[in-house]
Structure 1
Amino acid sequence: MKAKAKNQLLKASKATKENVIGQVITFLCATIIVTLTLAIIFFVASRGIRAFVVDHISLGQFLTGSEWNPGTKNAQGQPIAGSLPMIIGSFGVTLLAALIATPFSLAIGIYMTEYASKRMRRLIQPMIELFTGVPSVVYGFTGLMVIVPITRKLFGGTGFGILPGALVLFVMILPTITSMVVDTLQRIPVSFRQAALALGATKWQSIYLIVLRASIPGILTAIIFGMARAFGEALAVQMVIGNSPLLPTNLVSPTATLTSQLTSQIGNTIMNSVENDALWALALVLLLMSLVFNLVAKWIGKRGELK
């Protein structure tokens, strides 16, 4: 009996020791992640704010100005750095891509959760996830060789603009939105569907009136995350949007996004120069918008939790 009790104490002591070690390791990992995140935010914010404090770029002119030429100054002696064309370009391609992708994602999600057999779901799921692993340059090159010439033929002009950028992003964010929509629809309890059918509703009525309405917060979260993914995309959009910091007059006029302007110009500037600081200010706007997208998604998800 004493030997048995001693073994139990040793096992309990070992389990406690392993538990403490596990807690320490996970705490250190979480601390590293939080520290890295805060460090990135601090670094980008400090570099971006420098454009307004040191280089005296007007915040109002920066957000509403339509001309991007930080190397020259206006009549007030302030660098001309208007980011409005890039902001409009970023929101234009993001919103249009989400608008196109959402119906497709809903249709695929409804089919996979409500109509498809297990065999068909096992076939469709890997095909959707396969798009996630395709490099951005492949999407961009495909858009450059296929979408841009078609746009040029149909609408004239150069073929570059918000429309081809949105079409490329549509394909890129489709797997993200679709996967999250499928997960959301699968989390709806079966009892909801059974109750609707028991009351005489058809299958489609139960989907439309019960399942989709109960899934609205999750679907909105999926759309927001897809938009965040599109908003931060750089290379693929840069190859098809024209990358000209001009206010777009239509969906097929060349313009630029925050990310395309950053990736194409940051290597051509000198550290601590006005041009470099202005680009860091664009990076700060991009970071703030990404944080807003994530906060909105978290807020929607929290409000839509099933009790």
Structure 2
Amino acid sequence: MKNDQMPAGRRTFLRLGLTLATVAAVRVAAADPAGTPVRPGGEPPGTAAGPQARTETGGRGYRLRPMTGQGAPRFVPAAPPVRTRPFEALPEAGRDAMVLSFDDGPDPRYTPDILATLRTYGVRAMFFVCGEPAAGNRDLLREMADDGHVVGNHSWSHPMIPALSRPAIRDELGRTSEVIERTLGTPPLWYRAPYGAWNRNSFEIGAAMGMEPMAWTVDSLDWKRPGTATVVRRVERGAAPGAVVLSHDAGGDRSQSVAALRRYLPALIEDGYRLTVPHRS
């Protein structure tokens, strides 16, 4: 036998080993055809836990990053998808579900009466609060949360959002979220643009702060003070499965809004509607 030759049995053994290695490589490629490298924790870059999922604000943009050497960094949950339009209705909430929402508060003249009426009928609602009045009426925020209502972000000073720069939008939303979180222990998960005036910057910044945009399907126009009966009629005519009703508990004289709620709320319940709030895990 020459030095560069080997027994037939050994050649067969090596061929078998090479074949098995090739099959394994093909299986790996099929499972990850792009050959995406995987981090030690198991998530590829660019997924919800990867750096590409982080926004320019680093999650909640109104928070300061921990200083170097101050312990392990906090886990920041991935931001929700960036919407191109707000939620307007909740068709998944059930055929008998509706949502009542109140903007611009809290106001100690009207918000307590609205909360009392909702409590009387065991109904939960959404309150989109502005940071300026919220900062001075934290007890009303706590009352909202204690009754199971959703406390959302309605900006700090109720500006026209599309007229603002990105830093200004971030400040309007961030300061209000900070007040809510410091008062209730958790940040808001929903926000609504003043006047319903949304733009791409507001969607992106809101998502970076962990919030979803919520609009409405029924506008009571109660802020115009058209009369209690007119407000009641608009809400009852707009009632439908998944509808979201817009009313106000601040921003002016809201006595008609308070009186209208006392009339249309029992009527909606009698018609079989379940007044509820959206849920986010």
Q: TM-score range by the shorter chain?
A: under 0.3
Greater fraction of residues in helix:
1
TM-score normalised by the chain length of structure 1: 0.26
Greater fraction of residues in strand:
2
TM-score normalised by the chain length of structure 2: 0.27
